[in-house]
Every structure is written in structure tokens, then in C-alpha cells.
């Protein structure tokens, strides 16, 4: 089957049935093993990951996006909105835990996943999307930079991966509002 024949879908979800949860846990462990995303370094197994995703679905400030290839969950991302008591930073949100399983890459699904999170963040009124990524995740870095994210800093002791300290990069992207004026980035604007 050619790449063009695959069905690509990214959807925001509020519930996962057992089959989707199992597929998502498998995709997550595959991404962890490959070294891409999620913060974990070692595979967690279905039980731990199922608890994680069920917990994510309970947090009102987190929205879970599922990437599907031919109907099967193969990746996810989370949009985290600031708490209500952080009014000063309510214009921004965070993209986190974005990944596509290694066996599902090469179809443009990662790009579609990030775009859907950006669209949702903008529709909620957020004008900035922030993210961070380990320096070892070159595929993710290339994706984010290719999508217009600006690297604003590097933390030299960001994470420990298999006994080695690695740097992490911090990015942001200004989002276009669905209606109205863009964010004014001038001093005092």
C-alpha cells in the first residue's frame, strides 16, 4: 500500500476504549524504546501507560490528541492550558508528550498532529504555544523548527538519559488567532 493510500487522522479525545488504549500504549512504548519523546527513558508497559492515559483524561487543563494511521492509534500529544490562577500567562499554552511510533512515521502524521494542537490552542484563545525537547531528539527538533517554532534557550542539564546528562531546547510559536488581531510582541504591547 502506498503512503498516499493511508488514512491519516488526528482527533482530540475525551475517552479511550480498551482497544484504542492498548494500541496507544503499544505506540507509546515503541516511541520510548526508540528514544523519541514522552520523558520516559525505559518502556513502561501497558498497565503503567494505561494508568497514565486514564489520568490525563481526568485533568481538565489537559487535552489529549490521538494520531491514527488507518484507524489505529499510533501517537499522541497533549495540550496543557495554564491554571486559572495564572491569568498573566493565560495567552500561552504548552505542547507536550508529542510523538508518533517509529513504525508509523513518514506519512506526515507528526506534522498533522502538531497542526491540530496549534489550531485547538488558537481556538481557545491562546496566542503562544511553548514546548521543550531533548537535544537527542533530532527528528522532533527538525519537525518543530520546520513548523516555525523559535528556539529561545537551551538548558545544559535538562535530562538524564541512560546515565548521561543531555541538554534540552525550549521553543515557542506565535499562533494566529482564528479571528481578530495577532499578538503584539513589541515592548509594552
pLDDT at 184 over 90: no
Average pLDDT over residues 65-91: 94
**Which of the four pLDDT bands, split at 50, 70 and 90, describes residue 40?**
confident
Rounded to the nearest integer, the mean pLDDT of the chain is 91
Strands across the sheet containing 8-13: 8-13, 62-69, 72-80, 92-100, 128-134, 164-174, 150-161
Please report the pLDDT score of residue 2 as a whole number: 46
**Which of the four pLDDT bands, split at 50, 70 and 90, describes residue 1?**
very low
Choose among 139, 119, 141, 22: nearest CA to 63: 119
pLDDT above 70 coverage of the chain, percent: 92
Choose among 71, 52, 70, 72: nearest CA to 62: 52
Domain boundaries, the chain: 3-127
- What span, in angstroms and rounded, lies between the C-alpha atoms of 130 and 80? 10
**Which of the four pLDDT bands, split at 50, 70 and 90, describes residue 4?**
low
Please report the pLDDT score of residue 48 as a whole number: 95
Please report the pLDDT score of residue 87 as a whole number: 86
Q: What 3-state DSSP class applies to 177?
A: coil
pLDDT at 50 over 50: yes
Average pLDDT over residues 33-62: 91
The pTM of this model reads 0.90
pLDDT at 153 over 90: yes
Higher per-residue confidence, 20 vs 34: 20
Angle between helices 109-123 and 138-146 (to 10 degrees): 50
Q: Tell me the CATH number for domain 3-127.
A: 3.40.630.30
Amino acid at each position: 500500500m502506498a503512503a498516499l493510500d493511508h488514512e491519516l487522522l488526528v482527533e482530540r479525545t475525551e475517552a479511550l476504549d480498551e482497544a484504542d488504549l492498548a494500541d496507544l500504549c503499544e505506540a507509546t512504548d515503541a516511541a520510548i524504546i526508540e528514544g523519541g519523546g514522552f520523558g520516559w527513558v525505559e518502556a513502561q508497559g501497558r498497565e503503567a501507560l494505561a494508568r497514565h492515559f486514564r489520568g490525563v483524561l481526568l485533568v481538565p487543563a489537559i487535552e489529549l490528541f490521538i494520531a491514527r494511521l488507518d484507524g489505529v492509534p499510533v501517537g499522541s500529544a497533549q495540550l496543557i492550558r495554564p491554571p486559572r490562577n495564572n491569568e498573566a500567562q493565560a495567552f500561552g499554552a504548552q505542547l507536550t508528550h508529542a510523538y508518533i511510533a517509529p513504525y508509523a512515521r513518514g506519512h506526515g502524521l507528526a506534522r498533522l498532529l502538531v497542526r491540530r494542537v496549534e489550531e485547538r490552542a488558537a481556538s481557545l484563545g491562546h496566542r503562544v504555544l511553548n514546548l521543550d525537547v531533548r537535544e537527542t531528539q533530532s527528528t522532533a527538533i527538525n519537525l518543530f523548527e520546520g513548523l516555525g517554532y523559535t528556539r529561545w534557550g537551551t538548558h545544559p542539564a535538562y535530562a538524564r538519559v541512560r546515565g548521561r546528562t543531555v541538554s534540552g531546547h525550549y521553543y515557542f510559536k506565535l499562533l494566529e488567532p482564528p479571528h481578530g488581531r495577532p499578538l503584539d510582541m513589541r515592548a509594552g504591547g
